[in-house]
Structure formats: C-alpha cells, structure tokens
C-alpha cells in the first residue's frame, strides 16, 4: 500500500508557516496521492441525515501518526464541501481548528490517541452546538451532535490503527485488529463513492465485494465474516435495506473464507453461494443490491489482484529480516558483481555460438565456381599439352564446355566415367579421351572427399554453436538465480523456532527465505540422534505454522548429518506424486536390448524416457544408451530440453560414418501444477489411462541421427489424480502383425485392464503383446507405466 508518509520537518511543526509550492511538491508522491484520495472519499461519506463527521476523525488520526501534512485536511474538506456545499462551515471550522491546534500544541498531542480523540470530538460538538443554538433547534439536533462526537471519538481510534496498514510493503505483518480497522477505513472510502455506476454496475458494490473476497481468501472465515458485516454496515448506513446488505455481505464472506482451502476459485464460489442463499432467504429482496454482473466483475478483479499481490496463500506474512544496512549493502554489492560478471561470461559464450553458427550457415556447399575449377584442372593437366587445345577451348568453347559438364553429370550418377560413356561429339574430336576420363575420375573422387569433410566440418561447427549457446543460457540462468531478490523472513523464523522448541526439538538455527516469485526455503539445524524421525516431526510442525504442506529437499547439497547435528532444507511440497514401473523383454539370446530407459525426479519435475535404437543387439543398444546418457547429463546441467535434444541429434549424426538412429519418447510431469509435457521424436504413441477412457498421444517425426535439423514435437496435457502414463517401444505395437490400427488395438487392451498397480499394468500389456505374436518377439519390447496421484 503506501511507504512511510513524508511530512514537513519537525522543527516547522511547532508553528504554522505557509509553504511555497516548491516545498509542497516535495511531499507529493504516490504515498500522499493515495492518502489524499482516501481523505477525500472518507470526508465525503455520510450517515443518517447527511452527517459527515468521518473526515474530522481521519484527519485527527493522521495527525497522531504522521504529523501535519496539509494535503490531508484539504482533501477531506473538499469531500465535505461536495456533500454540504455552503453549509459545510459547521464541519470545516471544526476540522481546521483541530489541524491548527495540532500545529501549535504538537508536543502535548504527540502519540496521544486518547487526548486527540477527546479533543476532536469535543471541538466538533462545541462548534455544532453553537450553530444549532444560534439557529432554531430541537433536542433531536443536540442528540445528533452528541452522536457525531461519539463517532469522531471512536473512529479516531479505528483510523489510528488502520492508517499504518496503507503501506506498500506487502510483506508486513498485520494483526486481526489492523485488518478489521483497515476494512472499516476502506468501507468508508467506498461509501464516499455514493451512487456512482458504470454500465449499470455500482462501483461501490464492486469494490466492496473485492475487499470481502481478498480478506476472506487471505484470513479465513472469521475475518471474512467480520469484514463482510463491516462493509455491509458502512456502505449502506443511509439506506433502508441495511439488514439485507449486512446479511448478504456477512454470510457471503463466511462461505468465501470457508472455501479458501479449495483456492481462489473456491473463495469465489463460496461468495456466490452465500449471496444466492441469502437472496432466496429474504425472498429476492437483494436482487437490486448485488447484481450478478457486479459479482462477476468483482471476481475478475479479485483474480487479477491475487496474481499481483504476494503471500496471500500463507497464514504467515512477514517482513524482511532486520539486518544492518552495511550487511545489506555488502550483500547487494557482491550479488551485483557476481551477476554482472556471469552475464559478461554468458555474452561471450553467446557471441562465440553466434559466430560458429554464421560460419556454418552455408546454404550451398556445391557452387558453380567449384564445377568451373574442376574443369580448369582437367584443362591445365591434359588439354594444354594437346595441339587441338586452341580449337576446342577457343573456337568451339561452348560445345567443349557442355561436353565436359555432361561428363561430370555422368560421374555424379554412376560414380566414374569411361570413354564409351562420353558424348559422341566429344569422342570424335578429342584425341586424349582416356587421359581426360582418368583425370576426371581422380578429381571427382578428391572433390567428393572434400565435400564430405566440409559437410562434417559444418555440422561440427553447428554442434559447437549449440553447445556454446547452451552454456550461455545455463550461465545466464545461474546469474538470474543469484540476482533474485531474496527476503529473510524473521518473524516466520521466530515462530518456527518457538514451535520446534515447544515440541522439544533442540533446534540451533532457523533461516527462512522468500523470493519475488513466491518460492520459499526453510533451512534448519537441529541437534538430534534420530535424523529421520526428527525431519518428519519438523516438517509437520513447520507445515502447520506456515499453512502450506512442506517437504524435505532431497537434492539440497548442504543437507547432511554428522552424528550430532542435522542440517536440511524444507521446500513447498509437491501436490502430486509419481512412480514408474517397467516390464521388458529382449529379442534373441544375446541378452542385450536395443531399448534403454530412465526415470526419476528433479526438483518439482518427474521424468520418464524411452529410447529405442534402430535394430537389435549391441549396435541398437549403443545408439539408445548414448541418447539416454547424454539426455540425463544435459538435463542435470540445466540445459533447455529442446537444445539438449538438438545437441544429441548432432552428436549421433557426427559420431560415426555409419547411421546411428534412435527414437526419444520423454514425459515430464510438473508435480506441483499437475501438468505434463510429452516430447516425441520418432517414437511410438504414448497412452494416458484416465478412469474410463484412454487418450492416445501420437507423433510422425523421424528419429534422431537422420537429419541435421531434428523435428521436435511437444504435447501438453493436464493430469488428474489416478492417471497412468503408459510409454511403449515399437516392439510392443509391432507384435501384432495383422492389425492395421495398432494404436487403437493397444488402447483397447489398456482400457480393459482394471488394476491400479503400475507393475501389474505393465506386465499385462507385455503379456498381451506376447500372446498376439505367440511368444516370438520381432523386436525388443519395453513398457514404462507411471502412476500419478494427488497428495492429500
């Protein structure tokens, strides 16, 4: 919300001086703009028969907290004037009297809420009583004046709590009291909008619904109900349907808070259900209060705001650790130096990769000048010694050149040329046909070798270019990781430390960090003799405090246990789990399979890969083994998936003079979001078994190792609890010789399997393939079945 409100220097606050426009401009920033808008709207808010005491209370509370910024009473006065016009003097005189008195008697009112509240209430009652007595009055008018004094006294306390919540530091902790007081302040500001509407929608109602949704989702049903009732009371104080508004907002806030565990959509559904239930209960009397389109618009704004605001899904929202400015400055300096240095190195690798790519980017390896040079070589070594040279190459140049060009075409198609394959017109004229044929065959053989190696050099340069670009990206990602804005959560550290100590866990150190992407890590050092039980107990306690399920980071390099002290890191637990089971059969008696596979978990991702080398035996095994091994290394090093696959393709193309071909079938599951990517290069279809249906994911790309540019096809799917990802090699489908639609045949087999055990599913698929080929496998057969389940 707002950073610290800037005020005039303290030495000027003891006396009233009119500031120049230049001096006033110094304090006009985003903070003063927001607080000024609030003061205007709150000053404009009215109750009962046009009573507007709220601006006086807001100005008084602001004076207590931040001092005498003159823009606040100015805008509050403008709000009052828009309501009463010339009759505003009753409130304006009291407001400015309080302000000027504060400027003069600052030390006596400083940080004294009780004195300021009593003083502001008394001033308003005295000034209004004077005006009432001077004019014709009734006892009712004096009672209203006393009522306004009580309102000013009460709201001064409320605003004193709520004004500090208007702070741009979203990481600050707010107590329940501050949240409730802040909602009252926002409700009064919303009430100041009056009957403003947009396309038939009340702006006041839309903002009120957004406030209830935000606080219900963030703080739960108790705060949601209180805030809902507060919004209902304040925004409809002058309306006859006040009870209806209160009931709708309060009950909708309650259900919205109860449904928060389902997520943002759950909170929205809860609010809608609450409003519908109360609408039916009061026989539709609320239809003109909260319209459907107002609720829909408010839900849209709420969903957008929750994307922008940080930490709304946690029970604990805390600020930055109280490190010294010197420590922060030194740490930031080291981060900046490291970040800049790594970026420079990354740019060097990127430029080197770009250079190699430009050098290798030769669209035509064979050019016209190469053919001309080859013919010139023949002329220099054979024709120049002939007495007919001048006749052939000067008098009849085009005929001779055309004949030589035709002979080169014959060599290209047949591999060599002899005298009987030469054009007739050339044989009749030339006296050295044997020497020319011999020279042409020799030069073409040399040229073919040059062409082959030049092509290899270009491919090698492309491979180097890809490697350099990959290194550049890895280094840049590392630089960005180092330069992330990491915040130390000291309040959470204290709560976790206290919670562990309370449970008799001898904890030495707790460090909690959070980044701007809402990623957080908890580092713990505990003295214990039972590491496994201690970790599980610490996870349970920390998860309860944070409000999010945590898990031990098994991949943390600093995690260790030396027999006395246990060091480990807790991170956000994955919402999904995965396990893979395998069934395989090798063709023949050699016991070597051309299929290779791997699966495992890396950070929040689970991957499973099958690679099928072309053919069977040692050669096929070597092809698929190289593919799987390289892919594992690249992914562990942080290479981009597509770049890693292109690099593997280049390696297979360059590794041997013989063809090395291998398919790649890779599934990558995001265990936190429940999304999966399927990358298929020349592979068999992948099947997703989901309850009562089977989905087929197919591709028509070539295997790696054939073409210089590999065709990578990526498919994305949303996964559900209980899904099975079934990956098979070509041998499984090819086992059914007579079936035309092999994918549908396999899908039917998978659909008939009722087991929920991934190993049983893999074995049943293998048995079905063996049955259809009568136990005689024509190719290596491998089945990988990955089960996905949602953690509770």
355/431 same-domain check: no
Of 170, 185, 216, the residue at which a domain comes to its end is 170
Q: What is the mean pLDDT of the chain?
A: 76
What pTM was computed for the model?
0.48
Q: What are phi and psi of 382, to 5 degrees?
A: -120, -55
Please state, in angstroms and as integers, the Cα–Cα distance from residue 142 to each residue in 124, 491, 626, 651, following that order: 12, 50, 93, 93
Has residue 274 been placed in a domain?
yes
8/112 same-domain check: yes
397/544 same-domain check: no
The band of 318, judged by pLDDT with boundaries at 50, 70 and 90, is very low
Has residue 184 been placed in a domain?
no
Of 119, 139, 170, the residue at which a domain comes to its end is 170
> What would the pLDDT profile of 387-416 be if each residue is shown by its tens digit?
778 778 877 788 888 888 888 888 878 878
Q: What are phi and psi of 684, to 5 degrees?
A: -70, 165
Burial class (CB within 10 angstroms; exposed 0-12, middle 13-18, buried 19+) of 229: buried
Has residue 151 been placed in a domain?
yes
Asked whether residue 748 carries a pLDDT value surpassing 60, the answer given is yes
545/679 same-domain check: no
Q: What is the rounded average pLDDT of the residues 263-275?
A: 84
The residue count of the chain comes to: 792
> What would the pLDDT profile of 641-658 be if each residue is shown by its tens digit?
777 777 777 777 666 555
* H helix or E strand, kind and range, residue 508: strand 507-514
Asked whether residue 376 carries a pLDDT value surpassing 60, the answer given is yes
614/745 same-domain check: yes
650/538 same-domain check: no
Question: Which residue bears the tokens 């028509």?
Answer: 700
Asked whether residue 1 carries a pLDDT value surpassing 50, the answer given is no
> What would the pLDDT profile of 586-615 be if each residue is shown by its tens digit?
775 466 778 888 888 877 788 899 988 876
**Angle of the 531-546 helix axis to the 490-502 helix axis, nearest 10:** 130
The C-alpha atoms of residue 294 and residue 206 are separated, in whole angstroms, by 6
Bridge partners, 693 (sequence order): 690
103/218 same-domain check: no
> What would the pLDDT profile of 76-100 be if each residue is shown by its tens digit?
888 888 887 777 777 888 888 888 8
* pLDDT recorded at residue 361: 61
The C-alpha atoms of residue 358 and residue 99 are separated, in whole angstroms, by 72
Asked whether residue 311 carries a pLDDT value surpassing 70, the answer given is no
> What would the pLDDT profile of 212-233 be if each residue is shown by its tens digit?
888 888 777 888 888 888 777 7
> What would the pLDDT profile of 673-700 be if each residue is shown by its tens digit?
888 989 888 888 999 998 878 999 887 7
Instruction: Give DSSP secondary structure letters for 606-622.
Output: EEEEEEEBSSSHHHHHH
653/725 same-domain check: yes
- What CATH number did the domain enclosing 661 receive? 3.60.40.10
Percent of the chain, pLDDT > 90?
A: 6
641/759 same-domain check: yes
44/151 same-domain check: yes
Please state, in angstroms and as integers, the Cα–Cα distance from residue 525 to each residue in 478, 528, 543, following that order: 26, 10, 17
pLDDT winner (highest mean) among 266-270, 340-344, 527-531, 579-583: 579-583
> What would the pLDDT profile of 468-521 be if each residue is shown by its tens digit?
777 777 777 777 777 666 677 777 888 888 888 878 788 888 888 877 665 778
548/675 same-domain check: no
User: Which of 251-255, 278-282, 334-338, 427-431 is predicted least confidently?
Assistant: 334-338
* H helix or E strand, kind and range, residue 693: strand 693-697
The C-alpha atoms of residue 596 and residue 621 are separated, in whole angstroms, by 7
Has residue 48 been placed in a domain?
yes
Structural domain tally of the chain? 6
- What CATH number did the domain enclosing 539 receive? 3.30.70
> What would the pLDDT profile of 124-156 be if each residue is shown by its tens digit?
888 888 877 777 666 777 787 788 888 888 888
Q: What is the rounded average pLDDT of the residues 619-623?
A: 78
Has residue 130 been placed in a domain?
yes
* pLDDT recorded at residue 170: 43
Asked whether residue 198 carries a pLDDT value surpassing 90, the answer given is no
* First and final C-alpha spacing in the chain: 35
Has residue 179 been placed in a domain?
no
8/85 same-domain check: yes
Has residue 263 been placed in a domain?
yes
Has residue 374 been placed in a domain?
no
Residue 299 sits in which domain range?
Answer: 193-310
């Amino acid at each position: 919300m707002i950073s610290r409100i800037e005020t005039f220097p303290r030495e000027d606050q003891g006396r009233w001086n009119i500031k120049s426009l230049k001096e006033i401009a110094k304090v006009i920033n985003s903070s003063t703009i927001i607080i000024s808008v609030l003061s205007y709207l709150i000053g404009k808010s009215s109750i009962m028969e046009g009573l507007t005491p709220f601006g006086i209370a807001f100005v008084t509370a602001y004076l207590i907290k931040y001092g005498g910024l003159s823009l606040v009473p100015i805008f509050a006065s403008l709000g009052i004037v828009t309501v009463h016009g010339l009759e505003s003097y009753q409130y304006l005189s009291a407001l400015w009297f309080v302000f000027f008195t504060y400027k003069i008697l600052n030390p006596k009112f400083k940080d004294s809420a009780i004195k300021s509240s009593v003083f502001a209430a008394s001033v308003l009652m005295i000034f209004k009583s004077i005006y009432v007595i001077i004019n014709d009055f009734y006892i009712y008018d004096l009672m209203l004046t006393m009522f306004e004094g009580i309102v000013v006294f009460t709201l001064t306390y409320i605003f004193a709590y709520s004004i500090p919540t208007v702070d741009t530091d979203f990481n600050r902790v707010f107590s329940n009291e501050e949240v409730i007081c802040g909602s009252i302040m926002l409700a009064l500001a919303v009430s100041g909008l009056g009957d403003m509407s947009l396309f038939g929608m009340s702006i006041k109602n839309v903002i009120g619904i957004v406030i209830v949704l935000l606080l219900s989702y963030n703080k739960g049903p108790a705060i949601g109900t209180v805030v809902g009732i507060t919004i209902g009371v304040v925004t409809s104080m002058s309306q006859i349907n006040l009870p209806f508004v209160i009931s709708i907002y309060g009950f909708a806030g309650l259900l919205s808070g109860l449904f928060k565990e389902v997520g943002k959509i759950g909170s929205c559904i809860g609010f809608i259900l609450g409003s519908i239930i109360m609408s039916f209960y009061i026989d539709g009397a609320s239809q003109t209060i909260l319209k459907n389109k107002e609720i829909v618009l408010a839900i849209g704004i709420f969903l957008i705001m929750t994307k922008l605001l940080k930490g709304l899904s946690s029970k604990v929202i805390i600020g930055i650790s109280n490190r010294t400015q010197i420590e922060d400055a030194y740490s930031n300096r080291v981060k900046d130096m490291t970040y800049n240095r790594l970026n420079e190195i990354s740019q060097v690798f990127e430029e080197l990769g770009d250079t190699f790519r430009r050098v290798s980017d030769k669209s035509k390896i064979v050019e016209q000048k190469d053919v001309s040079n080859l013919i010139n070589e023949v002329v220099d070594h054979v024709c120049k010694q002939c007495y007919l040279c001048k006749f052939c190459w000067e008098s009849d140049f085009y005929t001779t050149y055309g004949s030589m060009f035709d002979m080169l075409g014959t060599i290209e198609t047949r591999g060599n040329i002899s005298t009987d394959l030469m054009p007739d017109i050339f044989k009749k004229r030339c006296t050295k046909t044997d020497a020319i044929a011999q020279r042409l065959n020799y030069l073409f053989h040399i040229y073919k070798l040059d062409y082959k190696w030049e092509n290899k050099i270009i491919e090698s340069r492309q491979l180097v270019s890809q490697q350099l670009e990959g290194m550049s990206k890895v280094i840049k990602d590392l630089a960005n990781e180092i330069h992330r804005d990491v915040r130390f959560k000291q309040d959470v550290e204290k709560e976790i430390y206290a919670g562990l100590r309370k449970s008799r866990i001898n904890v030495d150190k707790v460090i909690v960090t959070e980044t701007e992407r809402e990623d957080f890590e908890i580092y713990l050092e505990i003295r214990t003799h039972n590491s496994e039980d201690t970790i599980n107990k610490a996870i349970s306690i920390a998860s309860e405090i944070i409000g999010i399920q945590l898990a031990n980071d098994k991949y943390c390099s600093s995690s260790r246990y030396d027999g006395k002290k246990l060091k480990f890191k807790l991170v956000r637990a994955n919402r999904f789990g995965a396990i893979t089971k395998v069934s395989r059969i090798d063709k023949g008696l050699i016991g070597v399979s051309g299929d290779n596979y791997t699966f495992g978990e890396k950070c929040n991702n689970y991957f499973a890969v099958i690679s099928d080398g072309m053919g069977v035996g040692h050669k096929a095994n070597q092809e698929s083994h190289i593919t799987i091994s390289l892919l594992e290394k690249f992914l562990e090093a942080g290479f981009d998936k597509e770049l890693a696959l292109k690099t593997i393709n280049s390696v297979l193309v360059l590794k041997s003079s013989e063809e090395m071909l291998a398919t790649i079938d890779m599934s990558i599951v995001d265990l936190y979001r429940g999304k999966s990517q399927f990358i298929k290069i020349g592979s068999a279809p992948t099947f997703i078994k989901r309850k009562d249906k089977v989905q087929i994911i197919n591709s028509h790309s070539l295997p790696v190792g054939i073409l210089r540019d590999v065709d990578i096809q990526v498919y994305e799917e949303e996964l559900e609890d209980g899904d099975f990802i079934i990956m098979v090699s070509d041998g499984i489908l090819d086992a059914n010789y007579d079936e035309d639609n092999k994918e549908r045949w396999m899908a039917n087999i998978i659909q008939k399997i009722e087991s929920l055990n991934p190993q049983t599913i893999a074995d049943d698929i293998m048995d079905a393939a063996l049955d259809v080929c009568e136990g005689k496998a024509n190719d290596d057969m491998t089945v990988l079945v990955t089960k996905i389940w949602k953690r509770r």
